């Protein structure tokens, strides 16, 4: 009988150790990695940017990653927070750490070569080192493919960021979009300016982008392609004259997660195919 009880107690102990800590994930790229590593069973919450894969939408959200509140996160009784380095405010993260929540911060540099490192960081945080090593190797192979892409000489492109209720903005240097354009082998028409900024009609005409790149949600926020081409000055650009528009998946292109190298390869194909109209799951030429 004593031997039976001892075995039972050991089993309970091992079961408790095997149970993953209640985890909240902050950052769409981090959430995607967690899911690919099959560690999403422990998730009890996410932020508003963690929308891929769609199954994550069933989790309660703690808000936008740059506007976190300690109360919102703690309401989910997490034991662990796996968070993008872009998360703000930092004071909230300090409060969560002081409350006893394990806070693991993952690098957030929008550079392709950083993605395998990011994968390994998440794998180590979630005890998925073996799976992370395999995924990191797959991503690294794709990154090498991107690095071998030839430069495109069709003229500079612009990335247009749009959210409902705000004016559309062009992406300058220091942005994820600028990094994606550079990796795809295309010059950014607005590389001289920092960050995302509203551009005047005169500015559009002066920089003369040959193509416009938007995300699917951004195009929806604008009201569709016809609304985009009616933006002041757009019709007088090479892109407006040819209606050269490439539409990409938001998280895949800008998140710098596992799908980003493939999205950049798709962007390069779309920009290189002057007469293509077929859509691509990640980035495709928009027939307009």
Tens-place pLDDT, residues 69-107:
999 999 999 999 999 999 999 999 999 999 999 999 999
Q: Report the candidate in 61, 63, 108 with the shortest Cα–Cα distance to residue 83.
A: 108
Whether residue 6 is predicted with pLDDT greater than 60 in this model: the reply is: no
Whether residue 237 is predicted with pLDDT greater than 90 in this model: the reply is: yes
Distance from C-alpha of 282 to C-alpha of 262, rounded to nearest angstrom: 8
Residue 284 in tokens: 């495709």
Whether residue 123 is predicted with pLDDT greater than 90 in this model: the reply is: yes
Tens-place pLDDT, residues 226-235:
999 999 999 9
Fold for the domain defined by 152-285: Rossmann fold (3.40.50)
Whether residue 2 is predicted with pLDDT greater than 70 in this model: the reply is: no
The domain locations on the chain are 21-146, 152-285
What is the pLDDT averaged over residues 200-228? 96
What is the pLDDT averaged over residues 46-73? 96
Whether residue 12 is predicted with pLDDT greater than 50 in this model: the reply is: no
Work out the percent of the chain whose per-residue pLDDT is above 90. 84
* DSSP designation for 57: G
User: What is the residue-averaged pLDDT of the chain?
Assistant: 91
Residue 150 in tokens: 């030839």
- Coil, strand or helix: which one is 149? coil
Within this chain, domains 21-146 and 152-285 share the same CATH topology: yes
Distance from C-alpha of 266 to C-alpha of 262, rounded to nearest angstrom: 6
Tens-place pLDDT, residues 129-172:
999 999 999 999 999 999 999 999 889 999 999 998 889 999 99
pLDDT of residue 286: 77
Fold for the domain defined by 21-146: Rossmann fold (3.40.50)
């Amino acid at each position: 009988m004593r031997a039976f009880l001892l075995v039972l107690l050991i089993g309970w102990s091992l079961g408790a150790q095997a149970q993953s800590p209640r985890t909240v994930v902050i950052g769409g790229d981090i959430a995607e990695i967690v899911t690919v590593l099959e560690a999403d069973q422990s998730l009890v919450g996410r932020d508003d940017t963690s929308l891929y894969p769609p199954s994550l939408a069933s989790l309660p959200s703690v808000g936008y990653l740059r506007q976190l509140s300690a109360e919102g996160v703690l309401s989910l009784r997490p034991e662990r927070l796996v968070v993008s380095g872009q998360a703000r405010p930092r004071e909230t993260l300090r409060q969560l750490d002081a409350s006893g929540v394990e806070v693991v911060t993952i690098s957030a540099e929008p550079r392709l070569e950083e993605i395998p490192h990011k994968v390994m960081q998440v794998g180590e945080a979630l005890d998925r080192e073996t799976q992370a090593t395999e995924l990191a190797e797959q991503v690294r192979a794709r990154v090498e493919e991107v690095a071998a892409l030839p430069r495109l000489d069709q003229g500079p492109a612009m990335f247009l960021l749009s959210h409902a209720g705000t004016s559309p903005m062009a992406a300058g240097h220091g942005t994820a979009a600028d990094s994606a354009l550079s990796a795809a082998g295309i010059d950014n028409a607005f590389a001289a300016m920092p960050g995302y900024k509203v551009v005047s009609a005169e500015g559009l005409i002066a920089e003369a982008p040959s193509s416009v790149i938007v995300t699917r949600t951004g195009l929806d926020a604008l009201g569709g392609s016809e609304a985009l081409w009616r933006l002041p000055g757009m019709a007088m650009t090479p892109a407006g004259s040819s209606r050269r528009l490439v539409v990409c998946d938001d998280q895949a292109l800008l998140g710098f997660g596992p799908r980003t190298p493939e999205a950049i390869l798709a962007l390069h194909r779309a920009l290189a195919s002057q007469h293509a109209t077929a859509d691509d799951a990640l980035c495709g030429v928009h027939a307009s």
